[in-house]
Amino acid sequence: MKSKKIILLGLILAVTISATAQVTEHEAKLRSEDTKATEDGWRAGGVTTLNFSQMYFNNWAAGGENSYALNGLINLFASFKRDALTWDNTLIMGYGFINQQVNGFRKTDDRFDFTSKVGYRAYGNFFYSGLVNFRTQFDNGYNFATDPPALISRFLAPAYMISALGISYQPSSNFSVFLAPLTNRLTIVNDSILSNQGAFGVTPGDRTLMEFGGYLRANFTKNDFKSEWLRNVTFTTNLDLFSNYLKNPQNINVNWETLIALRVNKFLSVNVNTHLIWDHNVRNDDDVALVQFRQLLGVGVSYNF
């Protein structure tokens, strides 16, 4: 298990370095060839971070537990615009863990989130649009309150895929709102234990749950603030809302994530990441859907491009 987590984090780091090099090279090329940049119509960039912390105690009177933690994050985007056509893509990958002397390895972050949206101008800043979003996690998740720890998630259990048709409003390259009255939301639970438990809203024994409803996605990303005190700040926030027309439409699923990256210098940064989820299909042992919230504060190596 230990080697698996180290290999996974190493893979994310390798992708980070590769993606950073490739996109940075591409951006430099576009800057030096203004005409070609206009013809290509591509914008690309992102934020990559790697945070490490370590604690060691020896005969410490106040007590303490030896530990170390590592968290990696990749947040990339690539957008194309030419005439009436737009194509926007985002990819977020994150993985982190803490290793404590007593409790051993436990993951602190684990996600894969890819979104692709194509639009064709209707009029002004409005576009006929289609969107696909897929998200899951890489590694197993456990409830450590039980003995032995109970499996509660794994790769593709759950996974969520949204396919939507609607209209988007894009007044600038930093902000967009997508409203889709025709949306299919597929929940995948590709694990026999979890599917038999009816986890994540599936019927016990089934591995998929299909829902049809309305969907709204709002996105704001900015890394070129004019104010002096915001010049080194990258701010990204994404809000997803979904309502199932066919069952309990008043229960609107919420997925809201925000990333603030403050660049101290070229390679050192402070990052704050928050993620809020409310999903009517994810319920506790008392059959109650609760607000899920995760917050990560990190200081470490970062590269913005």
| pLDDT value for 303 | 63
What is the domain count for the chain?
1
Backbone angles phi, psi at 232, to 5 degrees: -100, 20
Give the closest residue to 218 by CA, choosing from 175, 261, 251, 252: 175
> pLDDT, tens digit, for every residue of 28-78?
333 333 333 444 688 888 878 888 888 888 878 877 888 889 888 898 889
User: In this model, does residue 14 exceed pLDDT 90?
Assistant: no
User: In this model, does residue 162 exceed pLDDT 80?
Assistant: yes
| pLDDT value for 217 | 96
The distance from CA 122 to its chain's CA centroid, rounded to whole angstroms, is 29
> pLDDT, tens digit, for every residue of 197-229?
999 999 999 999 999 999 999 999 887 777 777
| pLDDT value for 28 | 36
Q: What are the residues facing 169 on neighbouring strands?
A: 126, 177
Q: Assign residue 167 the CATH number of its domain.
A: 2.40.230
Rounded to whole angstroms, how far apart are CA atoms 74 and 47?
Answer: 6
> How would residue 120 be classed by pLDDT, with cut points 50, 70 and 90?
very high
Q: What is the dihedral of CA 290, 75, 122, 163, to 10 degrees?
A: -50
> pLDDT, tens digit, for every residue of 69-113?
988 889 888 989 888 999 999 999 999 999 988 788 899 899 999
Rounded to whole angstroms, how far apart are CA atoms 156 and 43?
Answer: 31
User: What is the domain range of residue 57?
Assistant: 2-304
Rounded to whole angstroms, how far apart are CA atoms 21 and 111?
Answer: 23
Neighbours of 133 (CB within 10 A): 21
DSSP 202: P
Give the closest residue to 45 by CA, choosing from 80, 17, 19: 19
| pLDDT value for 8 | 55
Mean of the per-residue pLDDT values for the chain?
A: 83
Strand 126-136 to 104-123 pairing:
antiparallel
Residue where the block lists tokens 């504060």: 297
Q: What is the pTM of this model?
A: 0.80
